[in-house]
Amino acid sequence: MRREGARESPRRIHWLPLSLLYFQSVSRSRTERMEMFAIWLYVSTSTLEENGNDEIASIRSTAQSRNPGLGLTGVLIFSGRHFAQFLEDQMQVLRQ
């Protein structure tokens, strides 16, 4: 219950600065597009130490060397506290 004359506190919106770590686009043939295709999107809380630049560089390096050979496309975003990842490819590739 609000007191008479009391003002409601304004809502605060917190924006997280995001860093784009990796994006890759691969052209697909019509046959590939017709096969079972899947899109995964998930968000996770980081367990990295405050300055996890080395670990992030390792994630990026692994993705850049592995994903093109699989034909995997997507994006990984790191806010400093959370990771958001969007991946797309054929179902069997995403399960690897």
Region class of 35: left (phi > 0), else alpha (psi between -120 and 50), else beta: beta
**Domain extents for the chain?**
19-94
- What's the CATH architecture for 19-94? 2-Layer Sandwich (3.30)
Residue 89 has a CB neighbour count (10 Å cut-off) of 24
Percent of the chain at pLDDT > 90 equals 0
H or E segment to which residue 85 belongs:
strand 82-90
pTM of the shown model: 0.53
Q: Using one digit for the tens of pLDDT, what is the confidence trace for 13-51?
A: 444 444 444 444 455 665 555 556 677 888 888 888 777
Q: Using one digit for the tens of pLDDT, what is the confidence trace for 41-96?
A: 888 888 887 777 888 888 888 888 888 888 888 888 888 888 888 887 766 666 66
Residue 78 has a CB neighbour count (10 Å cut-off) of 22
